Amino acid sequence: MQNNRPLGVTIIAILAILGGIGSLVGGIALVAIIPILGAVLIIIGLAYFGVAYGLWKGLKWAWIITLIVTVIAFISGLGSIIVGNVGAVIPVIINGIIIYYLFQPNVKAYFGK
């Protein structure tokens, strides 16, 4: 594992933290109205924080989870485009860039791959 965290990994980790905050806030707001959905969002928010920590520290499992979630989002976005949602083009492009970025030699080296 290399010691210097690549800038893109830092950005992805910060975005994961923001996603975690959004999920927690949404979950807490929904607990009183739809308890199960609120609880799920809270769990997702905590998972975001866990992945952000793993990305920040260069842990191998965080690279794998980020890749899996990003590939799922990419495929989902493609499906959305196929059924006519052209607004999904931007998320597909972003997820494609993240997938490409995760396979860059310096990024893989940071995660000990």
Share of the chain above pLDDT 90, in %: 96
How do residues 15-28 score in pLDDT, each as one tens digit?
999 999 999 999 99
pLDDT given for residue 8 in this prediction: 96
pLDDT, residue 1, reads 52
pTM: 0.84
Q: Where are the domains of the chain?
A: 7-110
Token look-up 């690279």 returns 63
Length of the chain (residues): 113
Spatial contact of 86 and 68, defined as CB atoms under 8 Å apart: no
Other Cβ atoms closer than 10 A to 107? 20
Distance CA 5, CA 111 (A): 9
How many CB atoms are closer than 10 A to CB 57? 13
Nearest Cα to Cα of residue 43 among 61, 54, 31? 31
User: Which stretches in the chain have pLDDT values below 50?
Assistant: none
Q: What is the pLDDT of residue 113?
A: 86
